[in-house]
């Protein structure tokens, strides 16, 4: 795959500072470095400036024929997992960006073909993860269409820092697909390359990404998503500072964390503790992700030839 020269990449990165979204900046650097072609979905008001910026730096852009209308998820800040009926929701534009014009065109045509597997293949999403996506598409669409709970199936799990997807709701992510499993080897490889590309070209972004991904993530489907600094404790309890909790919204989850000093998973519930008081609460789709540095990847079980 083609790539911009190092000098051109540095110049491009410099101008990307005007793009407000960190995930969008990382995706554009990945496209410009030749890691993968990307699809962006900027708000309709920002699309033309983004097209001009990308073209000025020698990248190819294809614009989607139609607008994308998105529906914001409940409880997840500005995150959107689903689309809205045309004319409703927020209007966004679809942009397909690559170093090579043929790659950008193929990516647009793949999405317009309506086959998620074909589109995923053009985005260089690993086969194991595309299979997971297709297998769960119907089940995900019943709720908010977020695949988070299909990647992270247990209430509590240890994950490689680079795949701590709770951070994506705070504009910090290194992959743009849902890995088939928390330790998917191919997703981790892509995430680590994206981390290095960002560290070289936009070191401030890489620092923020790492800082957020190192925090313990708490996910709920509707009641908020949180990041906390915690070193863990005894009997599965995590100690946290109640006034340092970062949250997507002022929901039930962050309120419980601000009223407690410890929490842990207890079956499908979360248990909270403050001095002598202990209580548990139930949250839809609740997950706790504990990130680890330098964690090894594993191959997916259902892909014998990987």
Residue in the structure block whose two tokens are 């496209």:
31
Cβ–Cβ under 8 Å, residues 285 and 171: no
Does residue 128 belong to the site contacting Zn ion (CB under 5 A)?
yes
The DSSP call for residue 43 is B
Give me the least distance between CB of 130 and Zn ion, in Å please: 8
- Token match 């317009």: residue? 112
Complex with Zn ion: residue 184 or 226, whichever CB lies closer: 184
- CA 166 to chain centroid, in Å, comes to 8
* Residue from 42, 75, 126, 149 binding Zn ion (CB under 5 A): 126
Residue 64 is encoded by which pair of tokens?
């989607």
Candidates 53-61, 182-190, 214-222, 283-291: pick the segment binding Zn ion (CB under 5 A). Answer: 182-190
- Rounded to an integer, what distance in angstroms lies between the CA atom of residue 158 and that of residue 181? 12
Choice between 267 and 304, CB closer to Zn ion:
304
Establish if 16 lies at the interface with Zn ion (CB under 5 A). Answer: no
Which residue, 88 or 135, is less far from Zn ion as judged by CB?
Answer: 135
Contact 118, 108 (CB under 8 A): no
Residue 156: both structure tokens together: 């509590």
Interaction of residue 184 with Zn ion, rule CB under 5 A:
yes
- The DSSP output letter for 174 is S
Q: Is 165 in the site for Zn ion (CB under 5 A)?
A: no
Binding flag, residue 180, Zn ion (CB under 5 A): yes
Within residues 77-116, the interface with Zn ion by CB under 5 A covers: none
Q: Which is nearer to Zn ion, 269 or 303 (CB)?
A: 303
- What's the rounded Cα separation, in Å, for the pair 12 and 244? 35
Contact between 169 and 226 under an 8 Å Cβ cutoff? The reply is no
Q: Hey, what are 196's tokens?
A: 């290095």
Q: How far is the CB of 111 from Zn ion (least distance, A)?
A: 20
Of the candidate spans 20-28, 172-180, 231-239, 241-249, the one that interacts with Zn ion by CB under 5 A turns out to be: 172-180
Per CB under 5 A, does 129 bind Zn ion? yes
Which residues form the interface with Zn ion (CB under 5 A)?
126, 128-129, 180, 184
């Amino acid at each position: 795959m083609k790539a911009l020269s190092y000098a051109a990449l540095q110049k491009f990165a410099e101008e990307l500072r005007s793009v407000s979204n960190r995930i969008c900046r990382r995706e554009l650097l990945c496209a410009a470095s030749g890691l993968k072609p990307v699809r962006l979905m900027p708000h309709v008001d920002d699309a033309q400036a983004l097209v001009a910026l990308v073209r000025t730096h020698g990248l190819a852009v294809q614009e989607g024929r139609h607008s994308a209308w998105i529906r914001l998820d409940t409880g997840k800040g500005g995150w959107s997992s689903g689309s809205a009926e045309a004319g409703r929701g927020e209007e966004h534009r679809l942009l397909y960006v690559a170093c090579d014009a043929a790659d950008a065109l193929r990516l647009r045509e793949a999405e317009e073909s309506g086959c998620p597997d074909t589109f995923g293949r053009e985005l260089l999403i690993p086969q194991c993860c595309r299979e997971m996506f297709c297998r769960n598409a119907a089940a995900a669409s019943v709720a908010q269409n977020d695949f988070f709970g299909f990647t992270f199936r247990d209430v509590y799990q240890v994950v490689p820092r680079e795949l701590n997807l709770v951070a994506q709701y705070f504009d910090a992510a290194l992959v743009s697909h849902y890995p088939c499993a928390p330790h998917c080897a191919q997703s981790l490889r892509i995430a680590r390359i994206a981390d290095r590309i960002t560290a070289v070209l936009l070191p401030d972004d890489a620092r923020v990404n790492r800082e957020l991904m190192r925090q313990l993530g708490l996910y709920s489907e509707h009641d908020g998503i949180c990041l906390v600094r915690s070193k863990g404790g005894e009997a599965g309890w995590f100690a946290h500072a109640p006034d340092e909790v970062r949250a997507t919204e002022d929901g039930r989850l962050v309120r419980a964390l601000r009223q407690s000093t410890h929490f842990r998973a207890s079956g499908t519930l979360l248990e909270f503790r403050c001095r002598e008081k202990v209580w548990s609460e139930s949250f839809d789709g609740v997950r706790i992700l504990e990130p680890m540095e330098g964690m090894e990847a594993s191959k997916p079980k259902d892909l014998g030839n990987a």
